Structure 1
């Protein structure tokens, strides 16, 4: 059980941090590790197009929906207990997914992976609050945790590509098993247990309302991103918002609410959540464009395109390290605002890409962006964790992670829609209808046309895609500057880590 006495972490806590960062890496990797496995998976299981979308999206869908429930459950019954239970579910589900013999079996396994992943993210972050009492050491620990999640997103496609060079499609899931076994063995030895000393009863009605809020909203946003705007998708979002109003009402009136909504009255908490959410909106859209640009404009294969993302990892490490070292002396508002301005510069660099000579601009922009955003996310996450009461850290971490998931989904939907509209508007009027939808569709149509006509279509489609991307990244640059101003105004009074009281 955690005490109120501030103590510096020992070797045991730092070893414990290493144990909990590994599953964070895998939770993030599982969002993208299947991308390269789709051709082999489709040949083996023969899923329909709808089933294929569920295989891809169900993991992230369930993960986002259960974050708040699992974070609160960890506060109630024990963070280590929930973490280890989630690790067991994640490991078993990984084996089931790897050896699935039917599409339905794989979809069910992806759902179980989402439930297991939803326990890992908030529990690991909340345990950092339990293990590291010193603000400076906790900031370092949160930075390492942030790097684990960011690294997983970058390494997922690469790891999947390498494994598929030598093994069957299910091997991408077996990466999870040894790490989860390691967590189950070392977790009880290195990780402390913590549960809310109030012993409050778990709010089942609140958990049901949180799921009824998040799941329809995430579903609606993801469908808009995939299929465009439709009344049914907007209706799903509206249903989620209606349940969200009921959820907030219960949080105000319940004796033991899942989330202390009074936290949002503290600018340190709400400002950090808003900043991180908008940051993920911009990042998600950018990732979507860069992937398509490298493959469909420059003509790189999937693995080669993924490998060109690796330089940004160095930028992320450096950005997090610099932000963490400066956090002891500078106010978080200064560090976060500077990171957002650097992100705006990165978006400006990406706006210089052309249809043939954009690789250097893409790599430079990704490195600069990672340098700025790494510090933004690490500092914002620490602010959320530091503001929340220690007995509610799991719920606070879940709110932060849920907001980030929403940000990513909204970024793909909104920015993708803006770019698609510009793409269609700038294409010549005689371009065939299907080719007006996406650059990928234009490539498919061109393959069935005579060579000269097909090449003309590809040239026009690439020019329109690049134009749409340039407009969107300039928009991202402007929003980043506006958020930097917001941060400077809202978080200015929050002191550096060395001046904060626990």
Structure 2
């Protein structure tokens, strides 16, 4: 919910805080990168101190920082708050998922529970735009962050009463150096990628890339040499584990990549209000809920390979539809495309999550859950960053010749983001404003077309890989081990 409402708030954030295109991407995806960098650490920490305890600590921090983020006065402050939310958020998914794998040992019950878990994320995605749209209609952009506060309060009240505590009784000490290496690896690699995407190859980007690669190598070597590693790399010897993790990462890459564009398309291209955009995005969230709840039943009679492959093919069809969206269309085509994408992707996430976490021994459920969610968060953050950077490059390339009459400062704002272009147009004469907005919208839609096409091809490749690599797993209850 927190992520989807942020997408709706992007236009107003652009107009009020005036972030650069790079800052805007950081506002959106620094949360995901911090989560991705810390999920393995938080998963192993939960195994050691207790998964319920870690969940409650993270929930408290998430609620407090959400309030601070709601009143952030600058783009830099909002980026910092989003990073802190990422640290707190890293405790939530691995704690809840590992609790599920300990509470439900019966395979069929576990499948249903994981489906409900995925459905809960989907419900947040569906509810977020509706609630966020209502708030943005009547309040400032920061109000969307306050949506998380009641949920965290509810967790703190009910969690101690209804959740059992689980921990690994034989867990060793937390590897602080390994934790630092994993975070530094993620941040350095992401920084390098963003710098190269925005400004081309530079000394700072190459230095960051070298630091990220070197630290990553040290992290892997450290994990292989320790008797109680944070991340048991022997799990990667399992073929189903490797394939499921790959499918999960790229599937989330596809989902988050397109989702970044769809909220802006509804508001900034089609001119819909935040509430109207939220309503238009609701069918997508409902599709996720339906797909995630049907998957445990379908997988009893259909091989996981074919269900995953078929789902990715359906998602590719929806992405292909997005390549036909235009500036002058109504929302129907984009809504239908989003629904197809959601219906296709929803079964994929639940099945791959079961394969990933089910491959680990019960005492390592937290670490495996952390790895599963690390892959998901990394895929989402990379989808936002890579596809967002590609879209910005296309957008800027199409706006090399702006209408005559713009000041240098206004021209720079127009080229920075579509939200910036719309904000600049509000202060221009009508004819010039129309020309600027039309050019910016055409450039933005061109970027959507190309990125949706690229992601559609990636989805089809993933469908083929899944059908081949997972075909040995029969229909029925998903196996825990190969």
Question: Normalising by the residue count of structure 1, what TM-score does the alignment of the two structures yield?
Answer: 0.83
- Please say if 1:275 is aligned against 2:247: yes
Corresponding residue number in structure 2 for 1:284: 256
SS in 2 for 1:413: helix
Cα deviation digits, residues 21-56 of structure 1 (max 9, x gap): xxxx56x568658647748985xxx99999888766
1:473 aligns with 452
Residues 497 and 387 of structure 1: CA distance in aligned 2, closer, same or farther (over 3 Å): farther
User: Which sits farther off after the overlay, 31-40 or 203-212?
Assistant: 31-40
- Match in the other structure for 1:304: 276
- Residue matched to 1:365: 337
Structure 2 stretches lacking a partner, 5+ long: 405-410
In the alignment, is the contact (CA less than 8 A) between 2:33 and 2:378 conserved in 1? no
Deviations 1:372-422 (A, max 9, x none): 011111111111111122111111111122222222222233323444444
SS in 2 for 1:463: helix
C-alpha separation in 1, matches of 2:347 and 2:315:
11
Asked whether 1:261 is paired with 2:233, we answer yes
Shift of 1:167: 5.5
Counterpart of 1:414? 386
Instruction: Name 2:323's counterpart in structure 1.
Output: 351
Structure 1 Cα separation of the partners of residues 12 and 95 of structure 2:
30
Q: 1:401 to 1:100 in 2, by over 3 A?
A: same
CA deviations 1:408-449 (Å, max 9, x no partner) are 222233323444444455568565764555444544565565
User: Conserved in 1, the CA contact under 8 Å of 2:33 and 2:381?
Assistant: no
User: Would you say 1:144 and 2:110 are equivalent positions?
Assistant: no
Q: Which residue of 2 aligns with 1:11?
A: none
Q: Tell me the equivalent position of 1:22.
A: none
Report the counterpart of residue 386 of structure 1 in structure 2: 358
1:199 to 171, 189, 193: 171
Moved more, 444-453 or 99-108: 99-108
**Conserved? CA contact 2:305–2:473, under 8 Å:** yes
Aligned equivalents of 1:440 and 1:164: distance in 2? Answer: 16
C-alpha separation in 2, matches of 1:292 and 1:367: 17
User: How many angstroms apart in 2 are the aligned matches of 1:468 and 1:48?
Assistant: 18
Q: Counterparts of 2:258 and 2:192 in 1: how far apart (Å)? A: 21
1:492 maps to 2:471: yes
2:47/2:171 contact within 8 Å kept: no
Range moving further from structure 2, 338-347 or 232-241: 232-241
Structure-2 change in CA distance of 1:397 and 1:218 (3 Å): farther
Q: What is the CA–CA distance in structure 2 between the aligned matches of 1:305 and 1:299, rounded to whole Å? A: 9
**Does the 8 A contact of 2:168 with 2:364 survive in 1?**
yes
Q: Does 1:332 align with 2:304?
A: yes
2:131 to 135, 149, 159: 159
Aligned to 1:459: 438
Does residue 402 of the first structure (1) align with residue 374 of the second (2)? Answer: yes
Instruction: Provide the C-alpha distance between the structure 1 equivalents of 2:14 and 2:210, rounded to a whole number of angstroms.
Output: 36
Give the alignment's TM-score, normalised by structure 2.
Answer: 0.86
Displacement of 1:85? 2.0
1:129 equivalent in structure 2: 101
1:278–1:407 Cα contact (<8 Å) kept: yes
The aligned residue for residue 54 of structure 2 is 82
C-alpha spacing 1:168/1:276, structure 2 compared with 1 (3 Å) = same
> How is 1:211-250 mapped onto 2 (pairs within 5 angstroms)?
211-221=183-193, 227-231=198-202, 232-250=204-222
Q: Across the two proteins, how many residue pairs are aligned to each other?
A: 473
Q: Deviations over 1:169-191 (max 9, x none)?
A: 66544443443333233323322
Q: Which residue of 2 aligns with 1:483?
A: 462
Cα deviations by residue, 1:311-362 (Å, 9 ceiling, x for unpaired): 1122112222222211122221111000000011111222222221242110
Question: 1:179 pairs with 151, 165, 172, which one?
Answer: 151
User: Distance in 1 between the 2:292 and 2:20 partners?
Assistant: 42
Give 1:208 deviation, angstroms. Answer: 1.8
- CA 1:471–1:29 in structure 2 vs 1: closer, same or farther (change >3 Å)? closer
The higher relative CO (CA closer than 8 Å, separation ≥ 6) is in 2
